[in-house]
Chains A and B, each alone.
Chain A
């Protein structure tokens, strides 16, 4: 029998952050406890305003060995970057 609690990945939206960022992982018996543990482990220094947790085995990841086919083709496509445009101030944060 496996006595280890499942692993959870923790995402926190910071005081001034616009989106949740991965901050680390922890063990917990269920989602509600994972949020409590995340609060205690990762927001002790007033880092966050919102916490997401997801069980690590629910995350599908790309394979490092596919890095060539996945990412190299975009290296030569400079026209995909929006650096040729001036963004008006009234658009706000993007």
Chain B
């Protein structure tokens, strides 16, 4: 795998993460428990869609096959997506959405922190912009996880159930493959496996405050970032997200 191939794959992974979880969060628009959360979630979704444009835009540019961010987002099928499985998991209740967001934000903030020092200036510049947004996402999702985990007996039970349900999707964040090795060697992106300790410390601190217990089983569901096997949920999400561009290719408004 050449350096450019590895870089395109790495950028598509980043862009697909933010695209898919951003779309998931946007599904709350108009349905949140309170107006303030509705607007906050819409803002976070828009931040992530904005980051997607930058990551996928750069991926398309380096790939040089004439695909831009929109083409990559709307004209690929499920097996071509490279997002973490965690990002495509359904929203569930509000608590589960916030738990998913927290587990993702914690990883996202650490990963972007490393990308700030990327040897590729284009990557570092996008990380610089995104990391400010993500610092706020993390602050917000962590606070909500603590408030609900350490809240009423019902909110505590729901948050523990959400953590138990989502935790098997955490391990995939730290799997490394050939492409990751090429990027790490070139100083473009960190080796995912090297981030686990920092992640466990950050997540552990917050979950401890939230009076939630981290499941002991470290079994990791995988197949999202390699594209070998997505969950059944991704296809339904794409059908919703892509139908207009599929029915009316290149429609603009």
**CB of A12, distance to nearest CB on chain B (Å):** 15
Find chain A residues with CB under 8 A from B34 CB.
Answer: 5, 27
A40 touches B143 (CB 8 A): no
Cβ of A28 and Cβ of B36 under 8 Å apart?
yes
CA distance A86 to B247 in the complex (A): 69
Chain A residues, CB < 8 A from B43 = 40, 44
Q: Which residue in A27, A36, A41 is a CB contact (below 8 Å) of B143?
A: A36
Q: Is the CB of A36 within 8 A of B39?
A: no
Query: A1-50: which residues lie under 8 A (CB-CB) from chain B?
Result: 5, 26-29, 32-33, 36-37, 39-41, 44
Main secondary structure of the interface of B (DSSP, over half): helix
- In the bound complex, residues from chain A placing their C-beta under 8 Å from that of B158 are none
Number of A-B contacts (CB under 8 A): 29
Which of B36, B39, B136: most chain A CB closer than 10 A? Answer: B36
Q: What is the total number of residues of chain A having a CB less than 8 Å from a CB of chain B?
A: 13
B196 at the interface (CB under 8 A from A): no
Q: Is B40 in contact with chain A by the CB < 8 A criterion?
A: yes
Chain A residues with CB under 8 Å of chain B are: 5, 26-29, 32-33, 36-37, 39-41, 44
Question: B residues engaging A (CB < 8 A)?
Answer: 34-36, 39-40, 43, 136, 139-140, 143, 147
